[in-house]
Structure 1
Amino acid sequence: MRRLPRFEARLLAIAALALFVRLLYTGLNRKYPVIGDALTFYKDAAHLANGEGFRRATENIPTAEHPPLHIVVLATIDKLGGYGTLAQKFVLCFVGTGTVVAIGYLARRVAGPRAGLIAAGIAAIYPLLWVIDGSLMSETEYALLITLTLLAAYGYLDRPSWKRAALLGGAITLCAYTRGEAVGLLVILVLPLAYRAQPTWGGRLKMVAVVFATFAVLLAPWQIRNFSTFKDPVWISDNGEGVWVGANCHGSYYGKLTGSWDYSCFGHRAAGDESQFSEDYRQRGIQYAKDHSGRIPYVMLIRLLREFDFYRPLQSAILMSTEGRSYEVAKWGIRAYWLLLPFSIAGAVLLRRRRDTLVILMAPVILGVAVAAVVYGSTRFRVIMEPVLVVLGGVAMDALWSWIAARRQARSPSASDAASSAPARATPTSVRAGISQSQSIAPWNA
């Protein structure tokens, strides 16, 4: 039997650990109530599995409240015999384990095999990644698809072709089918990538055209369904319209939920189908924002602080507990994030000094910040950034490892004797990463 390469064998062991952690948490958390959006997803999937199409959880009317991919995944599990919420959560644990593997490959592409294994190890035990796999939320698929999208972007950067451009467009489409804001990647990721990867404007335009065409073709079936079902146009989902009223009202501008979202602000529901009352919610939210425009800069600042858990973090943990996540795990997850964040920042600085392509990794971060500033701040919205934070943390820890090893080698008498009679060589890890040892250690010495 052929043995796996060293990197893949170690990554497989990390994936086994990741799956164990996720299954253990889900099993221990099995009695936690499925509420909020998680309950909506579960009921929507049950309707779809029963042949009723996409209909609202508690009403017999069509819905596009959420993008369809997560609902389709849960409905498929239901059709295969996973009727209950616990069975569906267990299956999503395998999806979350796939995210760990994808993060390992992404970090390897960015900084070499050791960085890939370190990043995968972090992802395996990082609470804010595995807690979502036991909550029945769409963030499980979203984290995986965002990571695969970044891998597709690096694949195109390494070897540009129309097939790789189409693959990138397909990956972004799947992200948008999971959470609608991923449409922003067409601008924030694709345009800078085209400029970087293609030397001519003709090549850049062709690449962008292929990505956009792939996106449009794959999204067309869902859009045709929405346009033929609702009276007002619905682009991917109408949940993005309804969120405006909860994010722009007295409770989210002046109360304890400033910078967050206040469900009590929804109030009455306008007449009409889902597209019409969602549009009414949007208009009410926009009008409130106009009437309190002087408050907007402060509210946007608080939104961003909430996004990065620097404002009322315990309240963020409480809000996560209303999404099917354990309150205690959410608190520890935020603390783990605080420990990871300095390494992530250091990793970004290192890649910048190495003149690496940060434009790809920064795209989800920029999009997450934009969503928080315009809509509201939430630890949940930061899921688009979490794979990037883990990868950058792995890059920094890999560089720290190299620095410590170099210091120990320099202090060793035998190493000093060997150094005087042999030319300097880069470490294997540094060579595979495409950089010299001095390049990887220099930032830390500085």
Structure 2
Amino acid sequence: MSALLSRIRVLLGLSDAAERWMPVIIGIFIIGFLARAIALGVFLATDPYFTMDNDSHGYVSLAENLVAGNGFAWDTAMPWTPDSFRTPAYPLYLAGSLTVFGSFVPALIGQVFLSLLLGYLMLLIADRYLKIEVGIVAVAVFFLMPFSVLVTVRYLTQILFTTFLMLAVWFWLEYLSKGYGKYLTLSSLLTPLAALVRPIGIFLTAPFIASLALQALWKQVSWKKFLGVSAIMVAIFAVAIAPWVYRNYVVFGLPYLSSITAVQLYFYDAPAIYAESKDIGYEKARTYMNRHIEEVTGYNVAENPLLYTELSPLTETLKKEGLRFALADPMALIETRAEQFFKFFTRDGIRYWIEHYGIDTYSGWALIPIIAERAVLLLFTFGFFLYSFSMFMRKNITVTFMALTVLYFAALSGVMSSAGLRFPAEPLFLLLGTAGLFEVWKLIPKKKSV
């Protein structure tokens, strides 16, 4: 048995330090697989609608229309209006499943195995750059987090996006530590793939380039190398997303990856800032801003939704007016962003399970698991910032890069973001959070055995 476990360890590329932990590691992955496989099987058999989220309907419609030859549209009937709100990678993933298997279910099965790949990448990163014990704990928590299971068994982008992200992170860590060009190329190719899954990845090269800038600042690489590598990464990213941007330019007249940025800014983020500035409720602020944009454009929001949600002549107006409201009160902007930044780390995902069955999450027994999950998240948040700061002070570039990647998503957190936005950063957040808690544990005095 020990010989078999040793062969598995070598096959997985884990160090000798992982040898004694192999039974635990295998057990954790079996539990992670069973949790997802059983959940998927049960819900497909008893409650198929559980696999659908509000966003899922759009992705499924896009995939069905692609397979039917109706183009990238989420209409369920003619005229098959082209869509610019979503990016193409996830609908193509679903369309591939429908084309090959005649069903979307294999796409969910694929997500189960991709989630296991995410756990493996976490373990690999911990073994190489942290401690194998850190990886074991972080992977166990990741596999059992309610939201992690939820997004695996639903038609949502999180698993595919996070897979591309974590692969890019892994290859970039290897590049930072070894400097081989093949790792730079692979990482540079994966970041635009992530952006084509979710538009939030449009600036995803930022933490990668920032980590290289810190390496140059810390005199670990030359500034010449920083400029050259940054140019390569940005160029590959731009070339990779160019076909979709060009498609949007031809169809809608605007060279953007997606229309979601302007919509999010004006209809969700700016109202929160305006509400803080005027000391009014969020819904009241949204109502006011809806009336304002209708006066500016002459189009009713409820009667002309596509003019606002798709790329159109109104997109630039939404951006301009959204920025005007957002920047009108700098203090309100700072306070709102600080609040969203904090909520990024503490938003729970268990509520989605509870709300699916129509249970009030703000009263009764439902509060208990929500409070418990938030307490756990606060603990990991403490560990994350403690460890990230200490490694930054020690000029540890690999840990600092992982922290920068988490902070990238935290900085973009908005009113409508939830545990779903944190999920792509969840593997790195849990790894660094666990590492920080390990450091705290070492500082606690232990009783000596007599």
TM range (shorter): 0.7 to 0.9
Specify every segment of 5 or more residues in structure 1 that has no aligned partner in the other structure, as ranges: 414-446
What are the within-5 Å matches in structure 2 for residues 73-88 of structure 1? 73-84=93-104, 86-88=105-107
TM-score after normalising by structure 1: 0.76
Q: Which residue in 2 is equivalent to 1:224? A: 246
Residues 344 and 242 from structure 1, CA distance in 2 versus in 1: closer, same or farther, beyond 3 angstroms?
closer
Q: How does 1:49-198 map to 2 (within 5 A)?
A: 49-58=67-76, 60-84=80-104, 86-196=105-215
C-alpha distance in 1 between matches for 2:162 and 2:146: 13
Residue 38 of structure 2: aligned partner: 24
Tell me the equivalent position of 2:400. 359
Q: Which residue of 1 aligns with 2:419?
A: 379
In the TM superposition, residue 349 of structure 1 has moved relative to its aligned partner by 2.3
2:123, 2:135 within 8 Å by CA — same for their partners in 1? Answer: yes
**AA at the equivalent of 2:311:** S
Secondary structure of residue in 1 paired with 2:186: helix
The corresponding residue for 1:40 is 58
Instruction: Give the gaps of 5 or more residues in structure 2.
Output: 10-18, 292-300
Give distance in 1, aligned partners of 2:174 and 2:163.
16
1:394 Cα offset (Å):
3.0
2-structure distance, mates of 1:243, 1:330: 29
Q: Does 1:275 align with 2:311?
A: yes
Deviations 1:170-229 (A, max 9, x none): 121122112222232322332332441652111111111221122122222222322222
Structure having greater relative contact order (Cα 8 Å, sep ≥ 6): 1
- Decide which moves more: 167-176 or 1-10: 1-10
Distance of 1:258 and 1:87 partners within structure 2: 44
Deviations 1:6-31 (A, max 9, x none): 36775444322212111222334442
Conserved 8 A contact 2:274-2:326: no
Asked whether the equivalents of residues 157 and 197 of structure 2 are also in contact (C-alpha less than 8 Å), the reply is yes
Cα deviation, residue 341, structure 1: 3.3
Q: Within 2, Cα distance between the matches of 1:361 and 1:53? A: 38
Secondary structure of residue in 1 paired with 2:101: coil
- In the TM superposition, residue 38 of structure 1 has moved relative to its aligned partner by 1.2
Contact 1:252 1:258 in 2 (8 A): no
Partner amino acid, structure 2, of 1:341: L
Map of 1:368 onto structure 2: 409
Name 1:440's counterpart in structure 2.
none
Distance in 2 (alpha carbons) for counterparts of 1:251 and 1:344: 25
Deviations 1:101-152 (A, max 9, x none): 2111122223122222222222111222221112211111122222222212
Note closer, same or farther for the CA distance 1:150–1:258 as it changes in structure 2 (3 Å cut).
farther
1:239 matched to which residue of 2?
260
Give 1:328-347 correspondences, 5 Å limit: 332=369, 335-347=372-384
Q: Could you say what the CA RMSD is over the residues aligned between the two structures, in angstroms?
A: 3.9
**Aligned length in residues:** 403
Classify 1:148/1:123 alpha carbon distance in 2 versus 1 (closer, same or farther; 3 Å): same
Rounded to whole Å, the distance in 2 between the matches of 1:37 and 1:152 is 31
Matched AA of 1:275: L
Q: Is the 8 Å Cα contact of residues 70 and 178 (structure 1) preserved in structure 2?
A: yes
TM-score, normalised by the number of residues in structure 2: 0.76
Q: Is the 8 A contact 2:345 2:377 kept in 1?
A: no
* Residues 218/268 of structure 1: CA separation in 2 closer, same or farther (3 Å cut): same
Residues in 2 aligned to 1:258 and 1:103: alpha-carbon distance in whole angstroms = 43
- Say if 2:168 and 2:190, in contact at 8 Å, map to a contact too: yes
Asked if 1:255 is matched to 2:291, the reply is no
Q: Is the 8 A contact 1:41 1:71 kept in 2?
A: yes
User: Identity percentage over the alignment?
Assistant: 19
Amino acid at match of 2:411: A
Alignment of 1:303-314 (within 5 A): 303-309=340-346
Preserved contact between residue 139 and residue 383 of structure 1 (Cα < 8 Å): yes
Q: Tell me if the contact between 2:119 and 2:139 (Cα under 8 Å) persists in the aligned partners.
A: yes
Which has the larger displacement, 139-148 or 285-294?
285-294
